[in-house]
Homo-oligomer: A and B are copies of this chain.
Amino acid sequence: MQIRDIGEQGLLERLQRFCPPEIIGDDAAVLVTKPGKSLVVTTDVLVDGVHFSEITTSAVDAGWRAAAANLSDLAAMGASPLGITVGLGLRGEVSVNWVEELYQGITQCLQKYNTSIVGGDVVRSPVTTLSITAFGQAHPHQIIRRNQAKVGDAIVVTGVHGASHAGLELLLHPELRHNLTQGDYTALIRAHQRPQPRLDVLPILWSILSSPIPQGQENHPPIPPSPHPPLSPLLPVAGMDSSDGLADAVLQICRASGVGAVLESTQIPLPDAFNYWLTKEKALLYALYGGEDFELVLCLPSLPADELVQQLGNGAAIVGTITSDSKVLLHDQNAKKTDQVLTLGRGFQHFGQ
């Protein structure tokens, strides 16, 4: 059964089963925010053939990944999700089953993070297009921005990098699988198909940052008193997600904060399988430039950074330090070669040139 067989109204009735009943039937959805919280909004457009493909992505996975990417942007800002809207452009020949599976994937991901679809639009289009806008709320004092990194901050990643890109490579080139264990193969594919936005990091981070630091152990300059303390105290953390790769995240944070960084390549956490499956160079390439791992990259003083890494476990690590340099350098403590300078705008294919 194709979309054109049941029409827009027929499709809407089927898709409304994926939404809370109270949102159906008005010109807009109504959400209640907690008093004193700020609204955080992010939007993504995904186009068939550009951002997803039937070769590597089932409809369920495309839905999950789209929802996860938007929830990851909320996590990167320190916000907890309120809901998402889904705008869908569909060719008439798309099967109704495909669209329902897409919505299943979206809602499976949203349910895991206690949120839901709160509105949407379905229209005819010559190319299948998925636009998601996600809303979250955050305490105004706990919004994580890119421009707050300070010299001396430790750079924390909340988990391993490179797994999502490895999964994509395995889907595109099944012959690469031959020397991978079944468990590692499945884990890498899953990392690509079912990325996990790191909303779980936030309560741990806030708990650590609100704990008093033992006397004499502060290694970060005290925050100067603000003229408007209730409005804009400085949060001692900067960050974003690693959706476009770990290198991109560190570079974006440094550019926004007017600082540099040194990354220690041996400290970048990699999937176990990379040890026997990839050369060291390729493993690092995947981790730095692969993208879509949807981990958080956070810059904060080293004491809370150590505490955060310990509490998170599962691959969380300190991978470098913020410097007063204007460059982001990649150091290798085991190699004698000079540090590599990482630059923005050099995509995956340009690495190593």
Chain A interfacial positions (CB closer than 8 Å to B) = 9, 25-33, 35-36, 38-47, 49-51, 72-74, 76-77, 79, 82-83, 85-89, 118-127, 129, 131, 133-136, 138, 140, 143, 145-147, 240-241, 256, 345
Contact = CB atoms under 8 A, between A and B. Distances in A.
Given A89-B129, A123-B50, A240-B26, A39 B31 contact: yes
A208 to B, nearest CB: 21
Contacts of A118: 41
A89 B240 contact: no
Given A125-B50, A126-B127, A129-B125, A42 B27 contact: yes
Contacts of A74: 27-28
B87 A133 contact: yes
A255 B134 CA distance: 30
Contacts of A121: 43-45, 131
Given A31-B38, A41-B118, 19 more contacts: A25-B147, A26-B76, A26-B240, A27-B77, A29-B40, A30-B38, A30-B41, A32-B39, A35-B35, A39-B39, A39-B82, A42-B119, A43-B133, A45-B89, A45-B121, A45-B122, A47-B89, A47-B123, A127-B127
A50 B345 contact: no
Contacts of A35: 35-36
Given A32-B140, A40-B29, A45 B241 contact: no
Nearest to A143: B30
Chain B CB within 10 Å — which of A74, A85, A146 has the most? Answer: A85
Given A43-B133, A87-B131, A135-B135, A123 B51 contact: yes
Counting every copy of the chain, the complex holds 2
A87 B28 contact: no
Contact of A29 (B28, B41, B124, B129): B41
B89 A135 contact: no
A73 B28 contact: yes
Contacts of A46: 123
A89 B129 CA distance: 9
Given A85-B133, A133-B133, A32 B38 contact: yes
A45 B146 contact: no
B41 A87 contact: no
B28 A79 contact: yes
29 contacts: A9-B345, A25-B146, A25-B147, A27-B72, A27-B73, A27-B74, A27-B240, A28-B74, A28-B77, A28-B79, A29-B41, A30-B77, A30-B138, A31-B39, A41-B85, A43-B85, A43-B87, A43-B119, A43-B131, A43-B133, A44-B121, A45-B87, A45-B129, A47-B89, A50-B125, A85-B133, A87-B131, A131-B133, A135-B135
Nearest to A124: B50
